[in-house]
Amino acid sequence: MKINPFRSPDFSQLLRILRREKPERATLFEFIADVGVMLGEKQIEDNDRDAAMYQYMRCFFENGYDFACLPTWITRFLEFHRGDRTHGESISQNEGGVITDEATFAAYRWPDAEAADYEMIGRWEKWLPDGAKFILMCPGGVLENLTDLVGFENLCYMLADEPDLVHAITEQIATRLMTFYERQLAFDSVGACMVNDDWGFKTSTILSHEQMRTYIIPWHRKIVDLIHSAGRPAILHSCGNLGPLWEDLIEDIGFDGKHSYEDGIFPVEEAWTRYHERIAILGGIDMDFLCRKTPAEIRRRVEDLINLTDGGSGYAVGSGNSIARYVPRENFQALRDAALNHS
């Protein structure tokens, strides 16, 4: 059962970009795809994991991408149990926390990252078109899982009162994430890894810069070292204003690419101008812009970006965050077509 791609995939084009080189053609990048927007279909329920994965792969290859992501809500290789949370358009970072002290930490049932059926990848890779690869994503990164398991307000108290407990929780999270990556990197069909961990909001990082350097960044360095030791590039997806931590993610951690940009924080054009010689810049068409502007305006901005970046040197075309369900289908198609038709 093969997928018929929109154009012949060539994962080496994205690898060129991640090496801050110029690809032979403009190249697309996303890591979260909405089936309704990208295929015009109803999403298959993920209790049929094979059918859901096949459909998700079609989102990428039938729209001209050189890879497909392995979404954790389908793979379910690693899931951290959380408490009850409201199901709404937005969710408080205080909801769902289950580790509040030493006793609840000791009682928490940590998932076994070794126990998952990773051999599913061997079944799914048979659907890859020639020249294509998978890109891994993780079930939230170190900071996201820490915040989810503890609750943001409680985490603030814990950082002040029980710093050793914060270290212990992050170690339990990060070591499982490393096993998660290690097991999947054994497959040649995996071409790169996303490390998706939202670090910030509009004006700053969620934790102070020093707290990030104490509790979070050392684990990211170990995760990226693991990915690099397997000969794959590592891409950080992080929303928010990272401020001086850009230097940490480039010089200390060693990420090959950075994804997620907002015009109100750090427009992608500015990010590329400042950093493209040191780290690849991926995506960046602001979500508000992508949703509210006309297809003609979107095509124009994509074309201007490709021209600014000299045909995509160290840059891949995509949204500022994701192709979410509220993105107008014609606007996504305008973004896609502007990249695919660029000469």
Which H, E and C letters describe 146-192, residue by residue?
A: HHHHHCHHHHHHHHHHCHHHHHHHHHHHHHHHHHHHHHHCCCCCEEE
What local confidence, expressed as pLDDT, does residue 89 receive?
63
For the chain, domain boundaries: 11-83+110-150+164-340
Both tokens of residue 100?
Answer: 């509040």
CATH 3.30.2090.10 describes domain 11-83+110-150+164-340: no
Share of the chain residues as helix, strand and coil, in percent rounded to the nearest 5: 45, 10, 45
What local confidence, expressed as pLDDT, does residue 177 receive?
98
- Of the candidates 202, 180, 205, the one whose C-alpha atom is nearest the C-alpha of residue 190 is 180
For the chain, the first-to-last Cα distance in angstroms comes to: 33
pTM beyond cutoff 0.85: yes
**Cα–Cα–Cα angle for 129, 322, 235, rounded to 5 degrees:** 70
Residue 205's DSSP bridge partners are: 200
**Cα–Cα–Cα angle for 305, 310, 311, rounded to 5 degrees:** 75
- The Cα 5–Cα 3 span in angstroms is 6
- DSSP conformation letters of 277-306: TTSEEE--B-HHHHHHS-HHHHHHHHHHHH
Give phi and psi for 340, each to the nearest 5: -65, -30
Both tokens of residue 109?
Answer: 């049932």
What local confidence, expressed as pLDDT, does residue 319 receive?
98
What local confidence, expressed as pLDDT, does residue 1 receive?
75
> Residue for token digits 């509790």?
215
- The Cα 53–Cα 46 span in angstroms is 8
Mean pLDDT by 10 residues, the chain (343 residues): 89 98 97 96 90 97 98 96 68 74 97 96 96 97 97 96 98 98 98 97 96 98 98 98 97 98 97 98 98 98 97 97 97 98 82
- Of the candidates 175, 191, 211, 232, the one whose C-alpha atom is nearest the C-alpha of residue 60 is 191
- The Cα 224–Cα 230 span in angstroms is 10
Q: How many CA atoms lie within 13 A of 256 on its CB side?
A: 23
What local confidence, expressed as pLDDT, does residue 62 receive?
97
By three-state DSSP, how is residue 125 classified?
A: helix
What local confidence, expressed as pLDDT, does residue 286 receive?
98
- The Cα 284–Cα 182 span in angstroms is 29
Answer whether 248's CB lies under 8 Å from 200's CB.
no
Both tokens of residue 115?
Answer: 């126990």
